[in-house]
Structure 1
Amino acid sequence: MPTRIYLVRHGATELTAEDRFAGATDVSLSEEGRGQVSALAERLRCDTLDAVYASPMGRTLETARIIAQPHAVEPLTEPDLREIDYGHWEGKTRDEVETGYPDEYEAWQEDPLTIAPAGGESGIQVLARALPVMRRIVQQHERRSVLVVSHKGTNRLLVSSLLGFDARGYRDRLDQSPAALTILDFASVTRARLRVFNDVSHYGGVPPRVLQRRLSRWWSRPGP
């Protein structure tokens, strides 16, 4: 039996629909987000969860508690699973950042893995703190099933690294919808297999089209 990680992004917040950079900003789940997470909790009710870990942000802890409640497991917080800190972009919409910091934004768009907004973090810095946590969880719960609740950017960086993908394209090539379920099986700490990715079937369909921009210009560009 492999070690199974249920990797979940927190449910929607009020800022999710506003296309804002809110990595280090602590915000609660919206009513829509609680509904999404409750649906996922029901989906996982009959699965075995031996442990639950979460970023310490309000939106991730609430997500973890809702899912963990039927399993009578108390979530453990891991500060290094928190979201990317966007520095002086925090709380601003993508349009505001693109207009107010055009050169910085353009550089970041081209290489978010190594470029960071002023006062913020690069993708490499996030991986440097989050990947050791994931490896430790896998080691400590060998042949068990564990829920890990984190954030959109952090989850995509983790998946890229664990599967050996080029993480420079994590923002444009991988998505993480609110309350999405990703399942990874580990034969060892360094050997992961992706079983499920960004599955939101538990809340009855894909996110509304209005959210497709998701802070990534790549998918917003008009076609040829």
Structure 2
Amino acid sequence: MPTRIYLVRHGATDLTAEDRFAGSTEVALSDEGRTQVAALAQRLRCDSLDAVYTSPMHRTIETARIIAAPHGLEPLAEPGLREIDYGHWEGRSRDEIEAAYGAEYDAWQEDPLTVAPAGGESGIDVLARALPVLRRIVQHHRHGAVLVVSHKGTNRLLVSSLLGFDARGYRDRLDQSPAGLTILDFATDVRARLRLFNDVSHYEGVPTRVLQKRLSRWWSRPAC
């Protein structure tokens, strides 16, 4: 029997709606985000969970507690699961960053795995702390089922690494919606199979704000 990891991104925040970089910035879930997470909690209420782990940030802890409540579990905080620190880009929109730090942003867009904003982290930095945490969780709960709540960037980097993708393209090739559910089965500590990716069917039909711009310039859409 494989070890199953339910890998979840936290629900939406006000900065999510404004499409701002909020890696190390503490921000609570918005009402919309709580609705998304409550729908996921309802979806997973009958699944058997052995433990719940979370990034120590407010938005992930709140997400983890909502989902864990029906199972009678208390989330365990793991600092290594926190989001990328975007340094001096924190709290700014892409337009603001391109205007103020154009050359730095261009270099990061080409290779976010090895390039970091000043004072921030690269993708390699994130994997160096997050991947060992996930492996320890798999080792500790072998043949069990565990919920892991983290962030958009961290989750995509983990999936890229585990599945052998070129992680330089993690931002353009993998999406991660608020309260999106990804399921990975582990035959060993490092041999993973993707069973479900970024599924949000639990809140389909729930009204949401459609963003016209995205933090990646390659997937931005012109305003209508």
The TM-score, its normalising length taken from structure 1, stands at 0.96
How many Å separate the matches in 2 of 1:126 and 1:191? 20
Equivalent pairs counted in the alignment come to: 222
Deviation of 1:213 (Å): 3.5
Deviation of 1:210 (Å): 3.0
Q: How does 1:155-194 map to 2 (within 5 A)?
A: 155-194=155-194
Equivalence for 1:86: 86
Q: Secondary structure at the match of 1:190?
A: coil
How many Å separate the matches in 2 of 1:205 and 1:136? 37
Q: Deviations over 1:41-73 (max 9, x none)?
A: 000000001000000000000000000000000
Q: Secondary structure at the match of 1:210?
A: coil
Q: Secondary structure at the match of 2:136?
A: helix
How many Å separate the matches in 1 of 2:208 and 2:62? 23
2:149 is the counterpart of 1:149: yes
Q: How does 1:60-79 map to 2 (within 5 A)?
A: 60-79=60-79
How many Å separate the matches in 2 of 1:99 and 1:184? 39
Q: Secondary structure at the match of 2:215?
A: coil
Q: Deviations over 1:97-122 (max 9, x none)?
A: 01110000000001000000000000
Q: How does 1:109-120 map to 2 (within 5 A)?
A: 109-120=109-120
How many Å separate the matches in 1 of 2:13 and 2:209? 16
RMSD, matched Cα: 1.4
2:211 is the counterpart of 1:202: no
Change (3 A) 1:188 1:213: farther
Q: Is the 8 A contact 1:4 1:146 kept in 2?
A: yes
Read off the aligned partner of 2:187 and give its amino acid letter.
Answer: A
Equivalence for 1:129: 129
Equivalence for 2:14: 14
Q: Secondary structure at the match of 2:98?
A: helix
Q: Secondary structure at the match of 1:211?
A: coil
Deviation of 1:207 (Å): 8.5
Large movers: runs of 4+ above 2 Å: 205-214
The TM-score, its normalising length taken from structure 2, stands at 0.96
Change (3 A) 1:145 1:207: farther
Deviation of 1:137 (Å): 0.3
Read off the aligned partner of 1:99 and give its amino acid letter.
Answer: A
Runs (5+) with no aligned partner, structure 2: none
Q: Is the 8 A contact 1:20 1:93 kept in 2?
A: yes
Change (3 A) 1:212 1:6: farther
Equivalence for 1:2: 2
How high is the sequence identity, in percent, across the aligned residues? Answer: 82
How many Å separate the matches in 1 of 2:82 and 2:207? 23
Q: Is the 8 A contact 2:54 2:64 kept in 1?
A: yes
Q: Is the 8 A contact 1:177 1:207 kept in 2?
A: no
